[in-house]
Structure 1
Amino acid sequence: MNANAAPFSTTLTRLLACRHPIICAGMGGPARAELAAAVSKAGGFGLLGMVRESAATIKQEIAAVRAATDQPFGVNLIPGGTKPELLDAELDACLRARVPAMCFFWDVFPDVIERAKQGGALVLYQVGSLDDALEAERAGADAIIAQGVEAGGHVRGNVGLLTLLPEIASRVRVPVVASGGIANGAGLAAALALGAAGVHCGTAFLATHESYAHEYHKQRIVDASAGDTVHTDIYAINWPAGSPVRVLANSVTDEVRDHPFGNDPYSLPGEVIAEDEWGPIPKYSTVSPLRSTTGELEKMALYAGQSSALVHARESAEEVIQRILSEAVGTLDRLQAQRLPAPIRRRAQETD
């Protein structure tokens, strides 16, 4: 069986008109045109991470994706983390450009869903609870991304994916996408078994060649082991205080080891620790290190999910997709073999 085999044609691939049920998370900063285009070109579904970007930048990035591929893609925005005037301009830029899909996260904004739908875009909504999933579906979302607490970056809920995914999949009628802790084919196979129509991966693509993340951040992910991430609210500058994230452990998370939650970085002494193309970056900022960043990178928000323990090498986006697919096929084949009667299974193994 090859990586383009029929089992991976799902309600999600039919909805998004892509070949493989693998979405690259719209990570603000790292998920620019180069990464989104590479994922879509390889048969997955790329998302541009455009949170708090100007309309002009969004227009430019959309054009860059289209210059690189004719495959469908989407744009990720965070209504709850963006000032209303800027959000309005961002949405206008996306809908004027006729992007195929919009992905939203954090609080559910029914009016934003309605506006995107009226503009002709499909709507994917990432949630961390059943209640938010039901609200997003009622408001018209075409697919729900169920984010488990294992996920990297901003983490909406507090429930593990193994429980959250089947809970949501059993209650909504639209396709459900699994997010959090998935970076290999076994994860894709497990997600499908739990009711998902595909997977939404951030960490696996964060370390790719096409990601705009800094080389230091990418290497920290590759070097990470199980247990190296921290769930905390210490990184919140640019977001409301108390917004949890999952990052790789560093000197900043060590400072709050005894109280990872209940922090208010807005009340702590300000200190500039780095700079990038947008300007100075204060300590506790939600900005992660990018290719253009200089300074004390170790102190920055090094976003990573628990799946960082499964990322062992620097790959291209296409290699990540093909690896996940081939591993998933192998996983399903092994499971099928285990269902055969013992004598037949032994004969099958003897001929391998």
Structure 2
Amino acid sequence: MLRTRLCDVLGVELPVIGAPYGPYEQVELAAAVCGAGALGSLGTAVRPLADLRRQWARMRELTDRPFAVNHTLRPLNEEAFRATLEERPAAISFHLGVPGDLVARAHDAGIRWIQQVMDVRQAEQAVRAGADVIVAQGGEAGGQGGEVATMVLVPQVVDIAGDIPVVAAGGIADGRGLAAALALGAQGVALGTRLLASVEMNIAEEWKHRIVAAEARDTIKLAHSDRFMPPFSRPDAYGFPRSLRTPFLEEAEEHPERVRPDEAAPRIVEAMLGGRGHEFLPFTGQSAALVHDILPAAEIVRGIVEEAETVLRRAADACTRGAPR
């Protein structure tokens, strides 16, 4: 099986990270990703601490393999972060800003830090902060992200990162994407949209089937998300969601002035925690165009790695056959 230095840093067998999904129930998915030999992740956004503790305990029951707990600056829940440090997962992943002070606290607790970045400036900050892994997330990605394309961002981050393993994210849903990421200098990939359409992911089946049916242009970048998303905790944080279309989002983008933040934000949070988040904000990346079925997570992860190995062998053979004698 394909192995890179990322595997050694994170203590996993395969160079794949399963993305976290904010407030959604994702323990079974994360455990299945870990069981496949990759790194599973759990989100924390807007979840009460009691729910998070229950999820972490369930995760420990399902797997003894390394996993990550994710936090963001939209907003940062300090109580949940402190509890994560006490829980001591293998890694904390972070997005929407590079908080050097939190990196130091995680390292003091013996926890690896996976920093997701959306541009070169953030990559430089991540290096200075001492991140153990840097995820270069392209604008194709679902959820909250930036605008620079994965193909452009990854090699820039690789050049900046030095010995820190770089992981490519955004637009990756098959082995060709993993092979391309390795060719760009990355040490692995993070899968988001592809694993949303997995058997274990606990979201509405309607959302999964919309992903399978979607084309790349069916996802939209939301310019007016500040009208209904939680606020950022720090002034230098930023991110713009990418989602499948819904009547709510189309109205919010066309007439943002009609969206009242004091009403919309609590309504969306309530829907997410109640399993109806897809009615408002079904985060999905452009790689939905590459997703054609709903499969068990382990089959997805292993299939992507096996396909990447085949693609890399074929590319090497093609270069050998084409070389002058």
Q: TM-score, normalised by structure 2?
A: 0.90
Aligned to 1:226: 216
Number of aligned positions between the proteins: 317
Alignment partner of 1:310 is 2:301: no
Q: Once the 2 structures are TM-superposed, how far is the Cα of residue 288 of structure 1 from its aligned partner?
A: 7.0
Asked whether the 8 Å contact 2:223–2:253 carries over to 1, the reply is no
**Secondary structure at 1:339 match in 2:** helix
Q: Name structure 1 gaps, 5 residues minimum.
A: 273-280, 344-352
* Structure with a larger share of its residues in helix: 2
* Structure-1 separation of matches of 2:195 and 2:99: 27
Instruction: Return the letter of the residue paired with 1:82.
Output: P
Match of 2:99 in 1: 109
- 2:247 corresponds in structure 1 to 251
Deviation at 1:30, TM superposition (A): 3.3
Q: Please state if 1:74 is matched with 2:68.
A: yes
**What is the aligned partner in structure 2 of residue 196 from structure 1?**
186
Cα RMSD (Å): 2.5
Q: Could you tell me which residue of structure 2 aligns to residue 275 of structure 1?
A: none
User: Which residues of 2 match residues 322-333 of structure 1 at below 5 A?
Assistant: 322-333=302-313
Per-residue deviation, 1:58 = 2.1
Is the 2:252–2:259 contact (alpha carbons within 8 Å) kept by the matching residues of 1?
Answer: no
**What is the 5 A alignment of 1:280-295?**
282=267, 285=268, 292-294=274-276
**Unmatched 5+ residue regions in structure 2?**
233-237
CA-CA distance at 1:269 after TM superposition: 8.6
CA distance in 2, matches of 1:219, 1:246: 17
Cα offsets for 1:205-241 (capped at 9, x unmatched): 1111111211111111011113111011344424239
The AA in structure 1 aligned to 2:102 is: V
Percent identity of equivalent pairs: 36
Structure-2 separation of matches of 1:310 and 1:264: 35
2:155 maps to 166
Q: Could you tell me how far apart the structure 1 residues matched to 2:124 and 2:258 are?
A: 33
CA contact 2:94–2:115 (8 Å) conserved in 1 = yes
Letter in 2 for 1:17: G
Tell me, in whole angstroms, the C-alpha distance in 2 between the residues paired with 1:122 and 1:264: 42
Residue 331 of structure 1: how far off its partner (Å):
0.9
| 1:319 counterpart letter in structure 2 | E
Give 1:325 shift. Answer: 1.2
Counterpart in the other structure of 2:20: 26
- CA distance in structure 2 between the aligned counterparts of 1:135 and 1:159, rounded to whole angstroms: 17
Instruction: Give the structure with higher Rg (CA).
Output: 1
Report the Cα distance in structure 1 between the residues aligned to 2:297 and 2:262, rounded to whole angstroms.
Answer: 39
Task: Identify the range of structure 1 (23-32 vs 128-137) with the bigger mean alpha-carbon deviation.
Answer: 23-32
TM-score, normalised via structure 1 length = 0.83
